[in-house]
Structure 1
Amino acid sequence: MDAGERERVAVPEENAEELVALAAEAYVYGCPLVHGLSTVEDFMQTGSGALPPAPFNHFAHAGQPVAPDAHFASVGDDGTVHSLAHLDLSGGPVLLHVPDTDGAYYVLQFVDAWTNNFAYVGRRATGTEAGDWLVVPPGWAGSVPDGVRGVIDAPTSVVTVIGRDACDGPDDRERVRALQARLALTHVEPGTHRTGLPAPDPDVPESLRFFEQLRVWMADFPPSAPDQAYQDRFQPLGLLEEGPSPYVSADPGLVHALTEGLVRGRARVAEASRSPAADGGWETNPHLFDYNLDRYGVGTIDSPQWRIADREASYLTRAVAARNALWGSHGYEAVYARAFRDADGELLNGAHSYVLRFDRQPPVGAFWSMTAYGTQGHRLAGNPADRSSIGDRTPGLVYDEDGSLTLHIGRERPAGPAAAANWLPSPGGEFRIVLRLYVPGQEILDGTWEIPAVQRSGAG
């Protein structure tokens, strides 16, 4: 069937506004799938930051934390070294081998095609001993090999695995590299694994490409049954059409509805992404990734505390997370807090120096780290200390007699040995600070422990 023979989805003029509203809903619902899988596709071709490209069912490893002046790409500038693998299970299960980390923190986070976190393997979730885990596709009913510690049921046939290994500085990198080398993925059944994602129709106009990607990928990576029931409402948009794309020669009314709906949907997600944090405060949301409502595997917490009660509201939260923090983890694994302003409400700027004083260590079960990024390009700061982050594992930190810790933040090395030991270099110009709290304590999760404000100490 050529483009001239493809069936058009006709749009009655009186339903035009309803269809625009429906297309905006479809954008909010579907942008995590499209954004996530587009990122998977790009990564397999070009890699990301310190991570080289890798095909399906192979790990890519960063050799060290992100270097100063590198673009921030969520790949290990926080005292961890990252690994990343995209699994294709269409040809059968994959066996994952994890090495013994001898008590050191690590996590492997499993994310489905819809960006739901559905399993964790690591120190918090499963301990640090070596073992094999069988990752199986939806509906699989085969035999589990002997010696496997557990089965990880994947909700979709494509899965992203994000690995983070704690790294205690340059002297610890060889230990981490050795662990990465022993992290392995193996096919356990004969089968043909695909080498790429299902391709949208190349003849679809660029203005409708998002909806074509959504149509194709929704069909290949169906969500949970309740979500499928919700997405049935998008039939009038052509999103449930099988076979040739309805968008190659679409009805002008449908084109208008889709293009206007795309604009409105994006605006809705952008508005929801705006932080309500007060000037001088920290922005944090331990529940940003609570939109997985249906599938809880190894290492997850199946509790109302970690679920968004309103399913339709969860779609908007999921879209915000995909837009701002793709593949971030549940709050019980890690909490990220951001500060853009000092205690007086002024934007943080490398022209000044700052102090941040912890009366006591952040209450975490693993570790904490703090990093400064330029707001333009999200770059780290090059500096003579060769330090891009600071935290509880930083060698040589100097604590006050009462056990408190004062950090010094700025472009220039502060005067005095104690201040220099506690220095977090900042970029020039406006910057932000990200505080990462791994395995946060209950005080962090319920807000009873507050992060102190950043105080300006004078011109740098």
Structure 2
Amino acid sequence: MRDIPFSRRHTLSRRQLLGGLTALGAGLACPSWLLAAAQPLSDDPTEFQAIARDAWIYAYPMLMHYQTMQKQALNPKANEYVGGFGQFRHYSELFTPQNRDIVTPNNDTPYSWAWLDLRAEPWVLSVPAVDAKRYYVHQLVDQYTQNFAYVGVLSTGREAGDYLIAGPEWQGETPAGIKQVLRSEAEIVMILGRTGLNSHDDLPAVRAIQQQYQLRALHDYAGTAAPAAAAAIAWLPWEIKTGLGAGFIPHLNQLLTLCPVVESERGLRERFARIGIVPGQPFDAAALSAVQRQALIAGIQQAQAELKAATEKTPRPLSLFGDRKTLANDYLKRASGAALGIYGNSIEEAFYTGTKLDGSGQPLVAGQKYRLRFAPDQLPPASQFWSLTLYDLPDRQLVVNPLDRYCLSSRDALQRDADGGLTLLLQTEAPAEQSNWLPAPAKGPFFLALRLYGPSAAVKAGQWQMPKVERL
């Protein structure tokens, strides 16, 4: 029920996880000071398995993030390619049931994507002023998939502004005109922009705002000489079966060259080195002893099982996304967020909930009539807007219907109940009054996703819940 823009969710099968146990070790482009001398690896199978389990869970969101970067920033032939580093690609077409490349799409907030390489210098994100009816946000994500900063109406206001995005090693002076310095723990940053769409007729205005989002290297912004370019990186090719098998270690070793150790993880990094996880160090699974290989496989299997169990556990945590302080180095929680819907917003920005069951615990299915009623004191408490979208199952796609209506929202002209509450109708057959009708599929099960943009303090404190869906 999270936003999963432009990447299809992957099921973690045993075959995928264990499919690549041959070496992916290759020369990793990184500073020479990161190349640690090889040290003897643990020959204790219990210790090796435990470290492999912890390291795989730690690495999983970083690997899924790398998969996205491969498509969007590194592979010009990919449909998702945004143009490389340092430029936006804007998406402003409405999704329909015919768009099936992604799961759980939404038409609330057309996306703007960009990737930044901060090794040589920071970059400046410039945003326009917007009026009181316009929502937008830029979510800044580091290589750990932490939402380390936000620029948008809820975090920085509605005025125009220039924001400097700096890597962990930058020590330069902040030029005049910069409203805020946003510091990343990693050298590669992804920006996921969302611009609120108020209606179908609002698309030209959304596109006009998107065109005003600007990215400039610091030297271009300040009018100074360009710094020396960062060294080219020989990025390892990505293949999900090997990348989530024993091949995760070479990938992690390369990614960690761009993620200087933070103090709270120093001991963890030292422990990881016991199985060959060292920034910039090649890794060859074939060079392990039979006992070590078996322990590595067992650790990956254990991690897979624990992540699967965590994603199926209910109730789920109030939010699976945030910065390092919010996530508190809970790596299973971070991995669960990536598995359930990578790039979900922090709860300060948006809240996601929903259901595939009615109030009696039965699946929502075509052919039945349902209603979702918000009492006057239960209306979704969102400062910006809320939306309810219906998706089929198991594909999690929008549903063909005669109104081409795929969600209901606080921005729509919904008919209130006599007491001020709100009743939404969920069914296949058109009701007599259609203003509050969200069409269900002609066959099969479905689920509902409720998104609140700018959730209230009560939502963030866990004191508000979506009402049960009632079968009529």
- Closer/same/farther in 2, CA of residues 390 and 422 from structure 1, 3 Å limit: same
For 1:343, the equivalent position in structure 2 comes to 359
1:404, distance to aligned residue in structure 2 (A): 1.1
Q: Is residue 134 from structure 1 mapped to residue 164 from structure 2 by the alignment?
A: yes
- Closer/same/farther in 2, CA of residues 192 and 412 from structure 1, 3 Å limit: farther
- Closer/same/farther in 2, CA of residues 388 and 440 from structure 1, 3 Å limit: same
Q: Is residue 373 from structure 1 mapped to residue 391 from structure 2 by the alignment?
A: yes
- The amino acid across from 1:224 in the alignment is V
Matches for 1:5-404 after TM superposition, within 5 Å: 12=43, 15-44=44-73, 45=75, 53-71=82-100, 73=102, 77-103=106-132, 104-189=134-219, 190=226, 191-192=228-229, 198-199=235-236, 207-240=245-278, 242-247=280-285, 249-277=287-315, 285-290=317-322, 292-293=324-325, 306=326, 308=328, 311=329, 314-360=330-376, 361-394=379-412, 396-404=413-421
Q: 2: distance between equivalents of 1:157 and 1:323?
A: 23
- The amino acid across from 1:367 in the alignment is F
1:16, distance to aligned residue in structure 2 (A): 1.3
The worse-fitting range, judged by mean Cα deviation, of 118-127 and 38-47 is 38-47
Q: 1:412-459, CA deviations, whole angstroms, 9 ceiling, x for partnerless residues?
A: 322x12xx11111233411111100111112222233332111112xx
- Closer/same/farther in 2, CA of residues 437 and 196 from structure 1, 3 Å limit: farther
Q: 2: distance between equivalents of 1:176 and 1:359?
A: 33
- Bigger RCO (CA 8 Å, 6+ sep): 2
- The amino acid across from 2:400 in the alignment is G
Verify the 8 A CA contact 1:398 1:421 in the aligned structure 2: yes
Verify the 8 A CA contact 1:62 1:81 in the aligned structure 2: yes
Q: 1: distance between equivalents of 2:281 and 2:68?
A: 25
Aligned residues: 423
Structure 2 alignment gaps of length 5 or more: 1-24, 26-36, 220-225
1:170, distance to aligned residue in structure 2 (A): 1.0
1:47, distance to aligned residue in structure 2 (A): 9.4
For 1:280, the equivalent position in structure 2 comes to none
1:68, distance to aligned residue in structure 2 (A): 2.4
- Closer/same/farther in 2, CA of residues 197 and 88 from structure 1, 3 Å limit: farther
Verify the 8 A CA contact 1:78 1:371 in the aligned structure 2: no
- The amino acid across from 1:370 in the alignment is L
Q: 2: distance between equivalents of 1:441 and 1:8?
A: 52
For 1:301, the equivalent position in structure 2 comes to none
Verify the 8 A CA contact 1:23 1:258 in the aligned structure 2: yes
Q: 1: distance between equivalents of 2:362 and 2:353?
A: 18
For 1:433, the equivalent position in structure 2 comes to 448
Q: 1: distance between equivalents of 2:56 and 2:264?
A: 18
SS in 2 for 1:149: strand
1:375, distance to aligned residue in structure 2 (A): 2.2
SS in 2 for 1:186: strand
- Closer/same/farther in 2, CA of residues 220 and 369 from structure 1, 3 Å limit: same
Q: What is the TM-score when the length of structure 2 is the normalising length?
A: 0.83
For 1:408, the equivalent position in structure 2 comes to 425
Q: 1: distance between equivalents of 2:394 and 2:334?
A: 25
Verify the 8 A CA contact 1:79 1:166 in the aligned structure 2: yes
The worse-fitting range, judged by mean Cα deviation, of 80-89 and 187-196 is 187-196
For 2:30, the equivalent position in structure 1 comes to none
Q: 1:120-150, CA deviations, whole angstroms, 9 ceiling, x for partnerless residues?
A: 1111111111111111111212222221222
Verify the 8 A CA contact 2:370 2:470 in the aligned structure 1: yes
- The amino acid across from 1:23 in the alignment is A
1:391, distance to aligned residue in structure 2 (A): 0.9
Q: Is residue 452 from structure 1 mapped to residue 470 from structure 2 by the alignment?
A: no
1:356, distance to aligned residue in structure 2 (A): 0.4
- Closer/same/farther in 2, CA of residues 196 and 61 from structure 1, 3 Å limit: farther
SS in 2 for 1:421: coil
Structure 1 alignment gaps of length 5 or more: 278-283, 294-305
- The amino acid across from 2:371 in the alignment is V
Q: 1:238-293, CA deviations, whole angstroms, 9 ceiling, x for partnerless residues?
A: 1116443343533332222222211111111111112324xxxxxx6433225612
1:34, distance to aligned residue in structure 2 (A): 1.5
- The amino acid across from 2:57 in the alignment is V
RMSD: 2.7
- The amino acid across from 1:421 in the alignment is S
Q: 2: distance between equivalents of 1:201 and 1:377?
A: 25
Verify the 8 A CA contact 1:285 1:335 in the aligned structure 2: no
Q: 1: distance between equivalents of 2:187 and 2:242?
A: 28
The worse-fitting range, judged by mean Cα deviation, of 433-442 and 148-157 is 148-157
- The amino acid across from 2:187 in the alignment is S
Q: 2: distance between equivalents of 1:273 and 1:405?
A: 32
- The amino acid across from 1:356 in the alignment is L
The worse-fitting range, judged by mean Cα deviation, of 432-441 and 239-248 is 239-248
- The amino acid across from 1:66 in the alignment is F
Q: What is the TM-score when the length of structure 1 is the normalising length?
A: 0.85
Q: 2: distance between equivalents of 1:384 and 1:205?
A: 44
SS in 2 for 1:95: strand
SS in 2 for 1:80: coil
Q: 1:305-339, CA deviations, whole angstroms, 9 ceiling, x for partnerless residues?
A: x454xx4xx11111111111211111111110020
SS in 1 for 2:399: coil
For 1:281, the equivalent position in structure 2 comes to none
1:389, distance to aligned residue in structure 2 (A): 1.3
Q: 1: distance between equivalents of 2:103 and 2:148?
A: 20
Q: 2: distance between equivalents of 1:377 and 1:138?
A: 40
Verify the 8 A CA contact 2:41 2:275 in the aligned structure 1: no
Verify the 8 A CA contact 2:391 2:397 in the aligned structure 1: yes
- Closer/same/farther in 2, CA of residues 214 and 275 from structure 1, 3 Å limit: same
